[in-house]
Structure 1
């Protein structure tokens, strides 16, 4: 019997899952088949790799030596296959949150000219699951305030920060605070608010920001299910909202906030499914696109240029000449 990549994956799955039954679920294989393959592999190695019990498995002394090597073999083998597959990928399926501007698709397609790019708008939690299940190749997802609340470890996902967006104040254009320098807690307490529905991805960011800025959660005149809906309430009802700059529309005023919270925008992909070189190309393209888009947002681009320490991921693009983008959605 030869030790093959599939055997290394099997041992890695058992070690990671902690039991043969859990590994069978993870690998979508019957438990008897997993047990049979493991026994044959252990005969090849001349001893047991795991001690089995009703509570799960633990490595034997032989397993303590061999399991890390098999796990590394599985990781390296999958990375090699991903590198090969990435060179032959015909379609790249990309998910984005809230809305997917055509210019984003064009930017990704331009950096990968041999690949057909398909984009769709998805909910952040659905995007994570879709990438983990292979329904999407990658997604642009805002991180929760506490990164641990999305248990990436349970999904075979890798992430990279695209940019850290500040959370600013959106106001009607004729509001007395519009166009002001960064506002503080006293000014925020004087405002009437539109807030985000509990099921919306921005709700937890908003809640954490209010807890730090105001030491309390302000009442709202209405709860919305998206940034563009929030901006319509700001414009038509004369209320205030928290938003990331890319969530605002041009018919409202953005005002910086002192000690503003930030929201990380992540690029998420299934571990081992995309080559490092492709991920690097995508990150560079998306970061460049973000800066081009930021130039279209009144006041935001000048703020980014004036505060490069807050935008270190996109810092190389802050002095690049602008690209012409279509008007946002």
Structure 2
């Protein structure tokens, strides 16, 4: 339950249909429908019911309308003060419970949550709201000036929520977290919008650089991580994390003019005499190229270490060096991409904190990335997609969708 849910109920009361609600709130129609279905809830306690394509207020919802409006206004006022558009009720409950109990541990026991989970939620709220909320000490916690400023509004909201609870307010769905932190080695166009619209999750993404073999602190502190698992330079998964393969694809060589001679594949040893372009010395890309080439029997002549950025793109456009990439990750201007004859793969992995609220969302991200990858293959390399689908044992992530089951008469 958050600001958007309450505004949806108020919009239904005004007679808005799904399209009008989506326009009013800046959401997709899919996201609006999913939220409305969740708000319908359990018969006997629900605020809304559906009749045909429209949603309407139940008698219980009509009776709660004034309190719903007060709660939405209080949430909006706090959201304005802390600079967020969507404020989940659970965030307010965590803050007020920790303040009332004077201890994160006591608040966790009262909320029925693990102490590390409550501590992590407080830390995330402080980052999202842009200021520290609690002074932490050995004996407990106390309010900072920033939290003291919010207290009058929080008290108003507490009273409104107490009245709202008596009206059968829908419970939060624990499988749909309101917000998550994602640390990603890449930016994926459309992912954040899809998460908000389709998975109903508000995500903050941090693009991180991974210089060595270990996860960087930003990854460990996040709920979900997305990164490349490079050949012979894999990252070690830290304790307490699970991972899944979103997709993998064959490695391609970006070669200078004349090096490919129109061939469909090329062996690594054939590239031994060329200059190579990698990431900076010590990075995983640099170490992976060294390891892959040495496994093929030669040491690459690395002359350029600026894989990303304008200088790297210029080197590739001019055909000044060899570089390795994935089948669909060929940068603009590097048109001479030839598949490696060796079985070298680039993998994209999604990781999440085991047992945390991000499990379902992490798996959703993995499916989304896989679907997007298959779409890119279909557009750019249809012959490769057909080949990968022809070997589902070696390439299970690219399996063709099964036939639609026939409906029984």
Instruction: State the Cα distance separating 1:192 from its structure 2 match.
Output: 2.7
SS at match of 2:294: helix
- Which of 70, 75, 94 aligns to 2:182? It is 94
Aligned to 2:344: 261
On the 8 A contact 1:96/1:141 being kept in 2, the answer is yes
Kindly tell me: are residues 29 and 245 of structure 1, through their superposed partners in 2, closer, same or farther at Cα, counting changes over 3 Å? farther
On the 8 A contact 2:242/2:352 being kept in 1, the answer is yes
- State yes or no: 1:139 paired with 2:225: yes
- State yes or no: 1:165 paired with 2:255: no
Instruction: State the Cα distance separating 1:255 from its structure 2 match.
Output: 0.3
- Which of 376, 386, 391 aligns to 1:305? It is 386
- State yes or no: 1:204 paired with 2:287: yes
Query: 1:185, 1:281 → 2: CA distance?
Result: 36
On the 8 A contact 1:107/1:286 being kept in 2, the answer is no
Kindly tell me: are residues 164 and 29 of structure 1, through their superposed partners in 2, closer, same or farther at Cα, counting changes over 3 Å? farther
Query: 1:122, 1:277 → 2: CA distance?
Result: 23
On the 8 A contact 1:86/1:273 being kept in 2, the answer is no
- State yes or no: 1:242 paired with 2:328: no
SS at match of 2:318: helix
Query: 1:145, 1:176 → 2: CA distance?
Result: 23
Q: Which of the pair has the greater relative contact order for Cα pairs under 8 Å at 6+ separation?
A: 1
Gaps of 5+ in 1: 11-27, 31-82, 320-329
Instruction: State the Cα distance separating 1:170 from its structure 2 match.
Output: 0.6
Aligned to 2:305: 223
Query: 1:180, 1:198 → 2: CA distance?
Result: 31
- Which of 211, 215, 218 aligns to 1:130? It is 218
Q: Encode CA deviations 1:217-272: one digit per residue, 9 max, x unaligned.
A: 12122122538754431212532111223432232121001113113211011111
Query: 1:236, 1:286 → 2: CA distance?
Result: 31
Aligned to 2:33: none
The alignment yields a C-alpha RMSD, in angstroms, of 3.8
Instruction: State the Cα distance separating 1:29 from its structure 2 match.
Output: 11
Query: 2:261, 2:229 → 1: CA distance?
Result: 28
Kindly tell me: are residues 187 and 148 of structure 1, through their superposed partners in 2, closer, same or farther at Cα, counting changes over 3 Å? closer
On the 8 A contact 2:210/2:283 being kept in 1, the answer is no
Kindly tell me: are residues 167 and 103 of structure 1, through their superposed partners in 2, closer, same or farther at Cα, counting changes over 3 Å? same
On the 8 A contact 1:143/1:265 being kept in 2, the answer is yes
Kindly tell me: are residues 161 and 104 of structure 1, through their superposed partners in 2, closer, same or farther at Cα, counting changes over 3 Å? same
Query: 2:373, 2:174 → 1: CA distance?
Result: 28
Matches of residues 10-159 of structure 1 in structure 2 within 5 Å? Answer: 85-87=174-176, 89-97=177-185, 99-112=186-199, 114-124=200-210, 129-133=217-221, 136-145=222-231, 150-153=236-239, 156-159=240-243
Aligned to 1:291: 374
On the 8 A contact 1:161/1:265 being kept in 2, the answer is yes
Instruction: State the Cα distance separating 1:182 from its structure 2 match.
Output: 0.9
SS at match of 2:181: strand
* TM-score, normalization by structure 2: 0.49
Kindly tell me: are residues 186 and 201 of structure 1, through their superposed partners in 2, closer, same or farther at Cα, counting changes over 3 Å? closer
Aligned to 2:276: 193
Query: 1:255, 1:180 → 2: CA distance?
Result: 7
Instruction: State the Cα distance separating 1:121 from its structure 2 match.
Output: 1.5
Matches of residues 262-281 of structure 1 in structure 2 within 5 Å? Answer: 262-274=345-357, 276-281=359-364
Number of residues of Structure 1 aligned to a counterpart in Structure 2: 238
SS at match of 1:249: coil
Q: Encode CA deviations 1:253-295: one digit per residue, 9 max, x unaligned.
A: 2100111311321101111113654443332222112222334
* Structure of higher CA gyration radius: 2
Instruction: State the Cα distance separating 1:183 from its structure 2 match.
Output: 0.9
Kindly tell me: are residues 194 and 280 of structure 1, through their superposed partners in 2, closer, same or farther at Cα, counting changes over 3 Å? closer
SS at match of 2:300: coil
On the 8 A contact 1:228/1:248 being kept in 2, the answer is no
